[in-house]
Structure 1
Amino acid sequence: MPAISVVMPTLNQRPFIGEAVRSIMSQEVDDVEVVVMDGGSTDGTQTELQALEAAFPGRLRWFSGPDDGPADAVHRGILEARAPLIGWLNSDDIYRPGAMRRALEHLSGHPEHVMVYGQGEHVDVHGRHLEVYPTLPPSTPIHVFADGCFICQPTAYFRRAPYIESGGLDNSLKAAFDFDLWMRLFKRHPRGIGFVDAMQASTRLHEGAITMRMRQRVALEGLQVVHRHLGAAPGHWLLTHLDEMCATHPFRADPMTLREAMSDLVQRASGWLAPGHADEVLRRTDADRRVQLSTAHVGVGVHADGWAGPTCELRLRADGPPVAAMRLTCANERRGGSLLRIRIHDPDGGVSGVDVDGPGRFELVVPVSPAQRREQAVWSIETEGGFVPIDLDPRSSDRRELAFRVLDFTVQPA
């Protein structure tokens, strides 16, 4: 019997699964097995699994076939696992060196602990560091989960028996099933959760990952889980999702304004929100300059208060009324004024620009040729000569790099 079984759900992750499996096999633990649950990949993942099975004989078992989503795949993998301790690594994530040894040492030294987790990080598609995951120790009061999940999933290891006793993963959840499990284990075993204060795993952010392609569902299910375990949920989950929508608007499945999208989201989440939070979310949505400036078919990539950074985007989708030009009414509001060198990079690689010398209003007119009215067209506005507010006023706490304020946005029909 292995000391630990690592369950790995996968679906069409051939570019990453080899690195994920090798990050397990290179750990300082010999008696480990990997149980891969493939949901019926069509990208050659099974061929990769055959090669990995041959490379690590007797240490990797894999199963392929339809499932009812990732929670179902993980749960069935845990039922197949032979070890009393379970690790859970998605096929696009990576264990850091020494992670498994540190977790096993902790659980061996603390038999009263049913689970242990540690520090994690987000990396990009190439494995480059993006940010440290906002992890908090298990001494954190459980109500803090209302602010967001503070456990990075691939850093967690747990004992198989308490997992089964807890009821396993909720298969009705398709995005927040790990969050729900952590909440149940914290509630059932308030003194039974351990922590390794070391970087244990890297979780990859890319377009194929659940956390990237199902952002709305992540927000709604997060609210549902908080409501289930802690009562009424705060509305900031939806405001965080507004930030995510603004970063890619209007490139969503159905064209709608940001206000319409948020109104729909609030209505769907109303049964889980704390009293008054639905109205507060919509009030803050209405006050957001990104919402005010954008249309159903154009996104203006500024901050919520209307300030543009050193780089901001204009995003246009082609299925709306034909556009001949986009017009930004702006203001150079740096104290004392400054020379702003503004360059606009169009979707075809062309560059135009304007220099703004001194304070006051100015306009940026962005022509749109018929060839640029494509499915997803992006103009990048880059500015030299900006400022950081705290550098000019020590009373300020604003450390953003700012260029100019956008006062109005209009489109000129073709």
Structure 2
Amino acid sequence: MHMSELKMNNPHLPLVTVVSPVYNSADYLEDCILSVLNQTYPNIEYIIMDGGSTDNTRAIVEKYADRLTFISEKDRGQSDAINKGWQRATGDIIAWLNADDIYAPDAVEHAVTYLVNHPDTLWVYGCANFVDEHGQPNNYRYPIFEWNYDKLATFGCYIVQPTVFLRRQVIDTFGYIDETLHFGMDYEYWLRIGKQYPPAFVPDIRVTVKIFQDTKSRSGGYKRLQEISAMLARYGYADLPSTMHHQWVDAVLDNIMRHLRKGEWRALRADWHDLHRYPKQVLRGTGKWLLRKLMPTSAERRLRRWFVRPKKSHPDALCG
């Protein structure tokens, strides 16, 4: 059933609530807002949860005040903001879109169409295009696979968060985002709900995701990896996903450098033990780490463009 048929057969189309948690996001928020407001799907409730921004965020949002709900108040972080938005949501289908992400014009339509046509499916995910902070295509690869619970835990989180749409039943059954997590809260939620209710992959749900050097999911370093490791242990997985092993080496080398500067010798002994958690990654990972540290940023970027080929997608990836 396509959207035209959906409208004919469903005079009351499902309401979709999209929540955007924002904080000092004025530089890129408007593109995000317009990607929601200009959807081909007509029945959308849009809630922006602002954590008390001090930049031009409010002025940008107020341009569209008659088409969305804007709440600006202090929060306890992104997870708290998402949860407060979801608690306000009145939609049958719920999603969250970060301020630096952009829906394709028909993303919501494809999500709703699939969920209406497959009433036993409680959530869906799709494909993403990755760009740099200037909106230019980059070589970043994020392989996305057909649903497999064990692969999600052992390979890495192959579900791109802004492509996910959930029925309200999911939240009613499994609760809200874990506010104790600061980096892997989406990953944990997919593991929590996916064990009982597998999602469907819908390739026509597409988003554009900006990759910043200081994006939280990329800059959390050792703390982020520790958090994810502890989270996975809750679900019976004792190791980090294979795609994070090189990140672990990189983060531990940063710790070593910091502890050397401070003369924290006891901490260095722990670092040495941590470094060899993934021995196959140590040599190559150390070389890459040294390259990043010793070369000026601009030179490193040029070198990568000239000599480093884009990573090939995983052979069984559906997209990415």
TM-score under structure 2 length normalisation: 0.78
Q: Which of 187, 198, 201 in structure 2 is aligned with 1:195? A: 201
Structure 2, unaligned runs of 5 or more: 1-11, 313-320
Q: How much is the aligned-residue C-alpha RMSD, in angstroms?
A: 3.7
Q: Which amino acid aligns with 1:27?
A: Q
Which residue is equivalent to 2:21?
9
Cα distance change of structure 1 residues 265 and 144 upon mapping to structure 2, 3 Å threshold:
farther
Q: Which of 75, 78, 82 in structure 1 is aligned with 2:86? A: 78
Aligned partners of 1:75 and 1:168 also within 8 Å: yes
Which residue is equivalent to 1:177?
185
**Aligned sequence identity (%):** 26
Cα distance change of structure 1 residues 9 and 224 upon mapping to structure 2, 3 Å threshold:
same
Matching of residue 218 in structure 1 with residue 218 in structure 2: no
Q: CA deviation at 1:188?
A: 2.1
Q: Secondary structure at the match of 2:162?
A: helix
Q: Secondary structure at the match of 1:129?
A: coil
Higher relative contact order (CA 8 A, sep 6+): 2
Bigger helix share: 2
1:63-102 aligned within 5 A: 63-102=71-110
Bigger strand share: 1
Matching of residue 18 in structure 1 with residue 20 in structure 2: no
Larger Rg: 1
Q: 2: distance between equivalents of 1:136 and 1:237?
A: 14
Which residue is equivalent to 1:314?
294
TM-score under structure 1 length normalisation: 0.61
Q: CA deviation at 1:253?
A: 10
Q: CA deviation at 1:41?
A: 0.8
Q: 2: distance between equivalents of 1:155 and 1:382?
A: 32
Q: Which of 284, 290, 301 in structure 2 is aligned with 1:300? A: 290
Q: 1: distance between equivalents of 2:15 and 2:301?
A: 55
Q: CA deviation at 1:217?
A: 3.1
Q: Which of 24, 30, 39 in structure 2 is aligned with 1:27? A: 39
Matching of residue 205 in structure 1 with residue 211 in structure 2: yes
Aligned partners of 2:246 and 2:285 also within 8 Å: no
Aligned partners of 1:313 and 1:381 also within 8 Å: no
Q: Which of 113, 120, 143 in structure 2 is aligned with 1:112? A: 120
Matching of residue 47 in structure 1 with residue 59 in structure 2: yes
Aligned partners of 1:71 and 1:169 also within 8 Å: yes
Q: CA deviation at 1:14?
A: 0.5
Structure 1, unaligned runs of 5 or more: 268-277, 302-311, 316-346, 348-376, 389-398, 400-414
Q: CA deviation at 1:239?
A: 2.7
1:235-384 aligned within 5 A: 236=242, 239-242=245-248, 244-245=250-251, 255=261, 263-264=270-271, 279-281=276-278, 283-284=279-280, 287-288=282-283, 291=286, 300-301=290-291, 314-315=294-295
Q: Secondary structure at the match of 1:188?
A: coil
Q: Which amino acid aligns with 1:26?
A: N
Report the more deviating stretch, 146-155 or 157-166: 157-166
Q: 2: distance between equivalents of 1:381 and 1:119?
A: 26
Q: Secondary structure at the match of 2:166?
A: strand
